[in-house]
Copies of this chain bind each other. A is one copy, B any other.
Amino acid sequence: MKILVLGADGYLGWPTCMHLASLGYDVVAVDNYLKRDIAKETSSAPLVEMPLLGKRSDLFHKATGHRIQVLEGDLRDYGFMSALLKHEDPDTIIHYAEQPSGPYSMMGHKEGALTLHNNLGTTYNLVMAALEHCPEVHIEKLGTMGEYGTPNTDIPEGWLDFEINGRKDRRLFPRQAGSFYHTTKILDTDLLWFWVRNRGIKVTDLMQGPVYGMHTEQTMLSDDLGTNFWYDDMFGTALNRFVVQAIHGMPLTVYGKGGQTRGYLDIRDTMQCITLAAENPALQGQLRIMNQFTEDFSANKLAEIVRDAADSIGIDVAIDHIENPRIEEEDHYYNATADAFAELGLKPHLLTQETVVGMLEYVKRHKGNIDASSIMPRVTWKDGKKD
């Protein structure tokens, strides 16, 4: 199976490339380093900045004998996207190539426009190029659990059966997200669903929760084969940020009341899910929606888990509730379904103290790299960028 990974330099992209290559798949890694450029705008940096893809690919080959082909190009350019799919003729495309930050998308006009046009434009180009050159390719699109928002009902796996005046139908669960970035993922889903219905493309849309952790089997092969581990207010997810705050000696900053509940997963389970979906593809003409998380936590609970793990290795940590920079429910019902991956045989790495301690130890080794000025919120949903 030949697999293209679009957005291969990202937090999930590079580990995905190595994971799939290790399984013997023919992997092509594509990126234009847009995220690295954006990160400079906001003075954000990963805890340890990893080499570019070409170098990592060479190191990975030396370490494992597996090759990952690397291509640099802008997928917003249809000429590049079209030539890529024509030349590579992949069986599977993993589409991570989106601006992934909620706060960035809320900074102001320019950042929101980039998020809108990059994310929708890339998805649209991908669909058109697939229709032109490889209509049977399986597109695995990274969406987000954030598309559902926090309804007062259970969250199904993509679809809603509804009834009005005794007549029934089934459609996409009506989505309602909490940031403009998350809204672009809703638009992606709508866009993909149109082309699935109209031209019969083959799509798995992964509603993924926030991911934590930095290590997969392959990232541990060498220091330079790691993933870019983000912990700042723009690109860092909650648990990753808390771990860095604990090591830096800052209080863990919970936004508002901290009752915000989300479905989380270990980065090793992202690897499993991506692989399970690739090996068990959607059908031609199917939009298969899979909720991709393993267990849910409130922000308060996550902070307590990190505090307790830190305490177990002698690090004393406080928890602070700060004014919520976002507009979101802080105390809400949350019960999301995640049956599809369980049925495919996912074996979750649940969040243990051991896992968090491992993260704390990694961050501790790189403590000198922490830039504390990029951790506290610099963007509010109400006013955009704080000057």
Contact = CB atoms under 8 A, between A and B. Distances in A.
Contacts of A100: none
A183 interface: yes
A329 to B, nearest CB: 11
Contacts of A198: 180, 327, 381
A43 B177 CA distance: 41
> How large, as a class, is the contact surface on chain A?
35 or more
A137 interface: no
Nearest to A326: B198
A173 interface: yes
Given A112-B128, A124-B113, A124-B116, A193 B164 contact: no
B172 A183 contact: no
Contacts of A128: 108-109, 112-113
* Ranked 9 nearest A-B pairs via Cβ: A171-B174, A153-B164, A109-B128, A153-B167, A152-B169, A183-B194, A187-B187, A151-B169, A174-B174
Interface of A: 78, 82, 108-109, 112-113, 116-117, 120-121, 124-125, 128, 132, 151-154, 156, 160, 162-165, 167-169, 171-177, 180, 183, 186-187, 190-191, 193-195, 197-199, 327, 333, 381-382
26 contacts: A78-B109, A108-B128, A109-B128, A112-B124, A113-B121, A113-B125, A151-B171, A152-B167, A153-B163, A153-B165, A154-B164, A154-B165, A154-B167, A160-B162, A160-B164, A160-B174, A162-B162, A171-B174, A172-B174, A173-B174, A174-B174, A176-B197, A180-B194, A187-B187, A187-B190, A190-B190
